Amino acid sequence: MSNRLIFVLLIRLWRHLSEVRRAQFGLLLITMIISSFAEIISIGSIIPFLAVLTDPDKAFSHSSLQHLIKALEITSSEQLLLPLTVLFGSAAIFAGAVRLFLAWFSTRLSFAAGSDLSAAIYSRTLYQSYEVHVSRNSSEVITGIVTKVSGVIYGVVGPTLSLISSVLMLVAILAVMFSVNPTISVVAFTGFGMIYGAIIWLTRSQKIRNSQRIARESTQVIKSLQEGLGGIRDVLIDGSQSVYCQIYQSADRPLRIAQASNQFIAQAPRYAVEALGMVLISVLAFSLVQQSDGILTAIPVLGALALGAQRMLPVMQLAYASLTSIQGGQASLRDTLDLLDQSLPDYVNQTDTAPLNFHRQISLNNLSFRYSPKTPWVLKNLDKRVNL
């Protein structure tokens, strides 16, 4: 239920993005796909590289390398080492460069979208009627514009992009590992996935509570600052500094505790999964060495799986941490969307109208006004005539 609610909130957020931002996010998705293919090339190139290092003669006669051998006019197995070293290094550099560009692009786009959302909230808030402004605390709006939008960028938009990128990367890594050894790949992914899945299930209620507390207490922190600093003259006269400090601390401490709890939940599985990964690699090494071909056959396979596992573990951890961050920020996202959903008056997009020309007089007949049905009348049955 929680994940479905997050998806609905993200769809609402998407609708508030401009066409330019949506196109940029589409371009970012293409970059993520390119990065996943670069990861396939990077991990896949280690197998022929290690094969040449361990058994050059056998690698020289391998069918998958015959196109490279003919293209480079290689006549001996020793000549394979240099081009494969260059190939492996180039693939690693290319994959790293794509990941670096992806990190830069996603970060810049996240904060650019945050700037758009913050400006949109401020604009929509300014266009609300006076009745709306007097009916709510200004600290709620200020918190939404300053704090909660930043929380949405750091805790929802950025992690959502990281989650999508991690899923694509994980699919690419698993594809390479499955082609090398399907059994080990399935066992590794299932084992690691069960750990993360169990922790997600066990901590889901805590993350929801933390999310609500962060959204609530961040508003209280801004409110206490406004009240204390805005009325500093009375605070100094009354000597009530300790009272306002206590009010601030009573809001700030639960906020920090909730943030720390989410941070710990996001980082905790890493240590258990890393230990499981080391055990899995050691068991795999032992089983491969026991086979008839021995260590020469084991090294290329073990190297590819070890590199795949070394890439897979951080990606799974990033995906889990991103999902945890999104779940922890859903309350702030909901509050931000409520501010973004404020309606704009009809005259916002209208062109300037021609001024009215008064020739004789201005008459007010039986004019009444109040700010809301629950407030007293400011003007009631007013009759006024102004001669020009």
Is the domain of 280 the same as that of 375?
Answer: no
Is the domain of 290 the same as that of 384?
Answer: no
pTM for this structure?
0.72
Is the domain of 204 the same as that of 267?
Answer: yes
Is the domain of 329 the same as that of 379?
Answer: no
Q: What is the pLDDT of residue 56?
A: 64
Number of structural domains (the chain) is 2
Q: Spell out the per-residue pLDDT of the chain, length 388, in tens.
A: 456 778 888 898 999 899 999 999 999 999 999 988 887 777 777 766 666 666 666 656 666 566 666 676 666 666 667 777 777 788 888 888 888 898 899 989 988 998 898 888 888 888 887 777 777 777 777 777 777 788 888 888 888 898 888 888 888 888 877 776 677 677 777 777 787 788 878 887 888 888 888 888 888 888 888 888 878 888 888 888 888 888 888 888 888 888 888 888 887 777 777 777 677 767 766 666 666 655 555 565 666 666 666 677 788 888 888 888 888 888 888 888 888 888 877 777 666 667 777 777 788 888 888 877 777 888 888 888 887 6
Report the C-alpha gap between 79 and 56 in whole angstroms.
9
Q: What is the pLDDT of residue 25?
A: 92
- Per-residue tokens: 194: 């069960």
- Per-residue tokens: 353: 């109208």
User: How far from 347 is each of 129, 133, 350, CA to CA, in Å?
Assistant: 13, 19, 5
Report the C-alpha gap between 306 and 127 in whole angstroms.
58
Residue 349 inside a domain? The answer is no
Is the domain of 329 the same as that of 368?
Answer: no
Q: In a 10 Å sphere around its CB, with 0-12 CB exposed, 13-18 middle and 19+ buried, how is residue 358 labelled?
A: exposed
Q: What is the pLDDT of residue 383?
A: 85
Report the C-alpha gap between 50 and 84 in whole angstroms.
9
Residue 347 inside a domain? The answer is no
Is the domain of 369 the same as that of 251?
Answer: no
Report the C-alpha gap between 182 and 178 in whole angstroms.
4
Question: What is the full DSSP assignment across 196-246?
Answer: HHHHHHHHHHHHHHHHHHHHHHHHHHHHHHHHHHHTHHHHHHHT-HHHHHH
- Per-residue tokens: 341: 């959903």
CATH number for the domain harbouring residue 52: 1.20.1560.10
Q: What is the pLDDT of residue 1?
A: 46
Q: In a 10 Å sphere around its CB, with 0-12 CB exposed, 13-18 middle and 19+ buried, how is residue 53 labelled?
A: middle
Domain residues for the domain of 268 are 2-342
Is the domain of 271 the same as that of 363?
Answer: no
Is the domain of 45 the same as that of 137?
Answer: yes
Is the domain of 280 the same as that of 382?
Answer: no
Is the domain of 335 the same as that of 365?
Answer: no
Which H or E run contains 161? Answer: helix 158-180
DSSP designation for 119:
H
Is the domain of 255 the same as that of 367?
Answer: no
Residue 350 inside a domain? The answer is no
CA angle 110, 201, 268 (to 5 degrees): 65
CB 355 within 8 A of CB 333: no
Is the domain of 19 the same as that of 153?
Answer: yes
Phi and psi, residue 197, nearest 5°: -60, -40
**First-to-final CA distance of the chain:** 66
Q: In a 10 Å sphere around its CB, with 0-12 CB exposed, 13-18 middle and 19+ buried, how is residue 118 labelled?
A: buried
Residue 164 inside a domain? The answer is yes
Query: Which residues share a beta bridge with 363?
Result: 385
